[in-house]
A and B are shown apart, each in its own frame.
Chain A
Amino acid sequence: MAFSSQRRIDVAGLVIALVLLLLAGLVWWDMSSLQILSPYDLGPKVMPIIVSAGLTLLAVGNAVSAFRGDLPARDSLDWKPIVLVLGALACLIALIAFGGGFMIGTALLFAATSTAFGRRAFVTDLGIGAAIAAVIYLLFVKLLTLSLPAGPLERLF
């Protein structure tokens, strides 16, 4: 095997480098539409130029480490819990965006996270989540006078 002495190219590392390069381009593009108010200096453009240049250099640096296989070894990954938690967060966002209040979404998030960490009692956890949400709602709204998005359940209080 001629290639066995070489370390493998890290594809994920190359993707990271590419993303950094895209971000650098985004910052540069955004900067180019800014107006300079003073004839003497670059004003609001200074920092974006520095950041964009830095991100470009780091994209190169990350690409080099990816080619040299310098990234740390990674363990195997279980995707199911990640999808579960992110899905619950998406539900919470949707519920709040469409006026469902936060309590239903919070209960769902509690139960989903608990399931993601290996518990098999979804309905019980849904109840616990709802109870926690209710306590926090009362604490925040009545005691600390902070506003939380209200939906059908919250109006009961």
Chain B
Amino acid sequence: MEEAFTSLAGGLAVAIQPMNLLFALIGVLLGTAVGVLPGIGPALTVALLLPITFKLDPAGSIIMFAGIYYGGMYGGSTTAILINAPGESASMATALEGNLMAKAGRGGPALATAAIGSFVAGTIATLGLTLLAPYLVDIAVSFGPEDYFALMCVAFVTVSATFGDSPIRGLTSLFIGLMLGLVGIDLLSGQTRLSFGVQALYDGVEVTTLAVGLFAVGEALYVASRRHIQEERLEAIRGSLWMTREDWKRSWKPWLRGTAYGFPIGALPAGGAEIPTFLSYATERRLTKHPEDFGKGAIEGVAGPEAANNAAAAGTLVPLLTLGLPTSATAAMLLAGFQQYNLNPGPLLFAERPEVVWGLIASLFIANGMLLVLNLPLVGLWVRLLAIPQPWLYAGILVFATMGTIAANPSPVELMMLTVFGALGFLMRRFDYPIAPVIVGLILGPIAESQLRRALSISLGDPMTLLQSPISATLLAIALLALVAPFFLKGLGRFRAVED
């Protein structure tokens, strides 16, 4: 406990350096902006910024990336409340009651309870991260390669199969990502795989190209192709921005309960923020003293899910930082951010570069405070971003997407891959295959492979080594259970269908 706070104090000294404060500020501003704008999320933004920040200081740019992550969560709620077009699945629960509140002229308090709830949840969850991280690091140190491999199997299964709409489609996405992860020169044997003699493929598939293609190009194609179907309407913010005493009274318990759902579920490698937000929504609906308000805009239905959303975002940083295990697309992009500086999140990073890890954690507290201060007074400004005409918005997104790709690697082949991944992203959206598992597969696949091969070479090729370590055997059993469960418990991931 004390150790954690000493480390945090050291991190604080890093985080309050003027340059790092500036990076955090840029991060939260960018994050909020992209969170508000439909069509761009935090994962895409980090992907676009990766090549540009290559030459910057590692601690500074990682602080900025984390700011984008937190900011994106804040901004997403604004869009969800005002135009009922949640930018990401984690904001869907917020949109349910939030948009109704906005239509009923209570958009101001809805935005306020979302922002304050996010701050409360984010702060508590970051505190949880601070306290939990040292323990997990101590445990992770004793992990052998077979245990790591088994742990990654758990992450693969939970991210792709357990909580999605369809385990088969989720696993299909994952295996496409794993396949892309095979492309290029195998570092251990020096042989090329799946490159077909194309020199540009020897370095493997760039995570940024894949993420930008799937998210930016794929999303643009998808939205353009169905523009004739849906029109979005922006609700003006009416009513005071301030919450009444009654609003506070109805909000604080949902905030805490949302945090209690979000942080543990985010911290377990259980795949994202969608589950806790819907759990929180269902709980608030059941516990409320004003059941008549649900369906007309109940403030509890905004406060709880928003808190759960932000707590889960902080929670996903626990496995990411202590074990190097990304469980969402944005976490995978953050991992890519670490990797571009040859930093590998995990127990070693805590020992070798404490200033980076703890600087990041400390800056999360600061970013949270900045977001609260920026969001409430500036909400009018953010809303104006939504007035950008859709043609220009998507044209601009595509220009930045291609530009970022060319800047990372000025070759036509890279752009061809971007286009192919864009088409893939479009098809995946159309046939409802989840995107995140592809990215997690690409980035985690090679790491899992190297752990597996290390384990196998220690055991002289005997695969039973995976079952002889008690940790690894337990984790593999969990993975198997998580894989099989959705086939038997239909509806485990069907919160969406229930709530619609």
Contacts and interface: CB of A to CB of B under 8 A. Distances in A.
A109 B432 contact: no
A89 B422 contact: yes
B407 A44 contact: no
B416 A93 contact: yes
A57 B194 CA distance: 20
B339 interface: no
Interface string B445-466: 1000100110011001100000
Interface string B132-145: 00000000000000
Chain B residues touching A, range: 35 or more
A91 to B, nearest CB: 11
A96 B406 contact: yes
B488 interface: no
B452 A118 contact: no
Among A34, A132, A146, residue most surrounded by chain B Cβ atoms (within 10 Å)? A146
Contacts, number: 207
Given A44-B193, A75-B226, A149-B406, A85 B398 contact: yes
Interface string A111-154: 10111111100000100110011001000100011111100000
A2 interface: no
Given A47-B445, A74-B431, A148-B407, A125 B395 contact: yes
A69 interface: no
Contact of B55 (A54, A89, A117, A144): A144
Contacts of B423: 86
Contacts of B189: 34-35, 37, 43-44
A46 interface: yes
19 contacts: A30-B193, A41-B453, A41-B461, A46-B456, A48-B182, A55-B175, A62-B169, A86-B423, A93-B419, A96-B415, A110-B398, A116-B224, A129-B399, A132-B399, A140-B407, A144-B407, A145-B55, A146-B51, A147-B410
Given A54-B175, A76-B228, 13 more contacts: A16-B431, A23-B179, A26-B194, A30-B194, A34-B189, A35-B191, A37-B189, A41-B461, A77-B430, A97-B412, A113-B394, A116-B224, A145-B55
